[in-house]
Amino acid sequence: MADAALRLTALAEALLGEALPVRIRAWDGSEAGPPGAPVLVVRHRRALRRLLWKPGELGLARAWVAGEIDVEGDLYAALDRLSGLIWERGGDPKDSVHPVRDPRLRAAAKALLRLGGALPPPAPPAEEMRRRTGRLHTRRRDKEAISHHYDVGNDFYELVLGPSMVYSCAYWESPDATLEDAQRDKLDLVCRKLALKEGDRLLDVGCGWGSMAIHAAREYGARVVGITLSREQAAYARKRIAEEGLTDRIEIRVQDYRDVKDGPFDAISSIGMAEHVGSVRYAEYADILHALLKDGGRLLNHQIARRPERDESAYEIDEFIDKYVFPDGELAPVGRTLATLEEAGFEARDVEPIREHYALTLRQWVVNLEADWRRAVGLTSPGRARIWRLYMAASALSFERNRIGVNQILAVKTPEGGASGMPLRARTWN
């Protein structure tokens, strides 16, 4: 067989009803497709068996993580071209046709079988989150999901995130700014929105590696309680805090937000954490944060948002993200987040969309990863490094194309008398 690429291209175009926008290079050395286009490299026939057993995104993701498919050339260009075929063809995902019921797909399955070989389904890559049991978003299940994503080695995160160790959208003055400056500006923006001052008690929910806590304590004199479910994050944060001489101002706990009982706090920051809460717990999350704030206290909720569906029952969690990146994570439209916060008793005072800022942040993280690829692989595994490269590059495109967004919501626990403590002019935070 020396024509696998041509046969794969013909098969794909017959199924899609349009020309394939990328070139294919197959395991037999053959190539087919438009000259000069990004090249989708199919390194092993096993990738086709994965598509047979799991048609669609999950089969492709498993082949990518296993190193059975790759992209040669501009990864962003390849993903942008392929997104229209894989993720944006329209229709309800629940209405996807099964090969047994559709003669066209049945013929395609037979062709894939001839190309890929009649062997049992390959085992999923080791990096895949195994089947989860029990109810969504219990304390135990949330801890397992957080550990899967965050406890993969602090050295790996240092390589990707850079010295700031901030794992959320930066705030860019211009595309030419440095990642470090943009992350510092984001932390400072949060502190200013919360109107932090000397002696204020701040709860940092999902404190990560301690960057927000350190900035609030060092620059604003706040007394900070940071909570995380990741033991690796907590150990790293405590070490940084000791090196900064801030142990008298910052306490880092391995603790679920549902178990914090020592309010009230003057302010609460939740930066990139609410995506892990899930729709079944979001009202509870908002109620708990409201109860933990003093009257007049402020909440800064920094959260990724998806676009709303006309029929919300049609929304399905991304299989690749759920299996390999953020198990049990869930995005909500910003309108639903606002409504939930207000139903808990908060008064929403400001919403700042910073979608383009996240695209810039993710592209810089990809640069960091690719610049030290061999070390990244050595610190984790080839599969884990591939997961990160794909998810960050695809996410950057999603933010750029307005498929998802990210918003900072400033909300106040306004007391019964109505005195919010907010300034008369918008966006003068104190």
pTM score of the predicted model:
0.92
Determine the pLDDT at residue 317.
Answer: 82
Work out the number of other CB atoms within 10 angstroms of the CB of residue 65.
25
Write the pLDDT tens digit of every residue in 72-114: 999 999 999 887 666 544 444 344 434 445 676 677 777 777 8
Higher pLDDT, 47 or 103: 47
Say if residue 346 is in the same domain as residue 239.
yes
pLDDT at 271 over 70: yes
Q: What is the mean pLDDT of residues 270-277?
A: 95
Write the pLDDT tens digit of every residue in 215-255: 999 999 999 999 999 999 999 999 999 999 999 999 999 99
Q: Is residue 408 part of a domain?
A: yes
Determine the pLDDT at residue 85.
Answer: 65
Q: What is the mean pLDDT of residues 110-130?
A: 83
Say if residue 196 is in the same domain as residue 333.
yes
Q: Is residue 286 part of a domain?
A: yes
The owner of tokens 């948002």 is 305
Q: Is residue 204 part of a domain?
A: yes
Say if residue 234 is in the same domain as residue 86.
no
d(CA 91, CA 96): 8
Say if residue 84 is in the same domain as residue 190.
no
Q: Which two tokens mark 262? A: 């020592």
Q: Is residue 123 part of a domain?
A: no
Write the pLDDT tens digit of every residue in 377-391: 999 999 999 999 999
Determine the pLDDT at residue 94.
Answer: 40
Range of the domain at 108: 4-116
Say if residue 160 is in the same domain as residue 287.
yes
Say if residue 332 is in the same domain as residue 259.
yes
Specify the CATH number for the domain of residue 306.
Answer: 3.40.50.150
Determine the pLDDT at residue 84.
Answer: 66
Say if residue 66 is in the same domain as residue 144.
no
Q: 117 near 68, Cβ under 8 Å?
A: no
Say if residue 209 is in the same domain as residue 349.
yes
d(CA 289, CA 359): 29
Q: 158 near 174, Cβ under 8 Å?
A: no
Lowest model confidence (mean pLDDT) among 2-11, 215-224, 293-302, 366-375: 2-11
Among 372, 349, 56, residue whose Cα is nearest residue 195: 349
Query: Average pLDDT, whole number, for the chain?
Result: 91
Say if residue 62 is in the same domain as residue 188.
no
Say if residue 256 is in the same domain as residue 394.
yes
Say if residue 96 is in the same domain as residue 182.
no
Q: Is residue 430 part of a domain?
A: no
pLDDT at 315 over 80: no
Determine the pLDDT at residue 331.
Answer: 93
Could you give the C-alpha distances from 246 to 100, 187, 215, in angstroms and in order? Answer: 64, 17, 10
Determine the pLDDT at residue 89.
Answer: 43
Number of folded domains that form the chain: 2
Q: Give SS3 for 366.
A: helix
Q: Is residue 267 part of a domain?
A: yes
For the chain, percent of residues with pLDDT exceeding 70: 94
Determine the pLDDT at residue 101.
Answer: 55
In b/e form, how buried is each residue of 325-358, taking b as 16+ CB within 10 angstroms?
Answer: bbbbbbbbbbebbbebbeebebebbbeeebbbbb
Gyration radius (Cα) of the chain, Å: 23
Q: Is residue 125 part of a domain?
A: no
Determine the pLDDT at residue 118.
Answer: 66
Phi-psi region of 196 (alpha: psi -120 to 50; beta: other; left: phi over 0): beta
Q: Is residue 127 part of a domain?
A: no
CA dihedral sign, ordered 339, 318, 281, 211:
negative
Say if residue 287 is in the same domain as residue 402.
yes
Task: DSSP for 51-84, please give it.
Answer: HHHSTTHHHHHHHHHTTSEEEES-HHHHHHHHHH
Determine the pLDDT at residue 407.
Answer: 98
Among 265, 288, 252, residue whose Cα is nearest residue 203: 265
